[in-house]
Amino acid sequence: MRRKSHKLQVLETLSTRKKLDPEQQALLQKLQRGIIGERNMDLLVESILGAEVDCLDDIILEYQGNVVQIDKLLIIGSIIYLIDMKFYRGHYIFKNGEWYLGEKILANNNFEQLRRAVRIIQNVLYDHQIPLKVQGVLAFMNPESSLTVEDSLKETVLNFADIPTWLLQLKQNTSNKQLQDWKSAIRNYEIAPYRTKKIFPLEKMDTLQKGICCPNCHQFNMNENRHTVSCPCGYTEAKVIAFIRTICEYGVIFHNQNLTRSQLRIFFGQDLNERYLEYLLEKYFERLDSPNSRSGYKNEGIIFDYWFAEKKDYFERLAERKNWKNANISK
């Protein structure tokens, strides 16, 4: 599944613990619309072309000093479709080589960005002697927005309602031909996802809601039981997961800081089971090897699902604890 950007992880986590300012709130909503749109596209592709369809999603490449972010690459026959998704609002017209919104000309020609990405992928394939053609596709993911093209264009433009028909047409060109390893050729140039440079200062910890946040109702009234925590809304979670998830939330918000017991104690709030927190830090987190014993534990700065993605099966088994007999009796 396509991952949330680091910026989105930080804003979402922060929004559960404090009221965002209007600018942050607007950005959060924009990023949320973006990931929903991208996941919708992934679902459409999978449901129409089948689960075995060959894609590369959400990658950042660096090729000869050029960095490019690509939303989706999809191979059908001998063509790689490079799909750039847009979440604009409004009805746009492309004419005379310019983008118009009403009478206004947009400062950026969005096709330039797409063409640059197409050139880079085409060159990567050429370098690796892979004879595939790259076709740029600009997809409008907001059903209420559109782009009308009144110009000749080598790119494909899709308004939201056009996407299923376009995919159905592609489906007729699928072949079972053995494909060269185009993905690993491209992956050679992959670089790590962007991390937000926006920092939330430790000094502002007192503006945050403390404790364990219920993932279901987002309140902070979780009760600690023997093996679980439970919320008045009815949500119950294995205690080990609720604690580790909360440590990760601290890590996301303060992604430029190490994990330290002293700060985590504050973050968990007054009712904290301190011994349990210390036990979990030792067991699941990486103590920083430093002469300063106060330096703490390594902070990946990402949400629990991504931080512990490789231990997914293990945590799914632990999650079963909420069904244990006596798991919910109070401590």
The footprint of Zn ion (CB under 5 A) covers 214, 216-217, 231, 233, 235
Minimum distance from residue 218 beta carbon to Zn ion (Å)? 7
> In terms of C-beta density within 10 A (0-12 exposed, 13-18 middle, 19 or more buried), how is residue 107 classed?
exposed
Residue 104 sits at φ, ψ, to 5 deg, of -85, 140
Minimum distance from residue 235 beta carbon to Zn ion (Å)? 4
Minimum distance from residue 203 beta carbon to Zn ion (Å)? 30
For residues 32 and 225, give the distance between their C-alpha atoms in angstroms, rounded to a whole number.
34
Whose Cβ is closer to Zn ion: residue 236's or residue 260's? 236
Minimum distance from residue 214 beta carbon to Zn ion (Å)? 3
Residue whose structure tokens are 């491209």: 186
Q: Is 64 left (phi over 0), alpha (psi -120 to 50) or beta?
A: left
> 97: how many CB neighbours lie within 10 A of its CB?
10
Q: Which residues, at least 6 apart from 134, have a Cβ–Cβ distance to it below 8 Å?
A: 79, 80, 82, 118, 121, 122, 125
Minimum distance from residue 80 beta carbon to Zn ion (Å)? 45
For residues 246 and 34, give the distance between their C-alpha atoms in angstroms, rounded to a whole number.
26
Whose Cβ is closer to Zn ion: residue 169's or residue 221's? 221
Q: How far is CA 119 from the centre of its chain?
A: 26
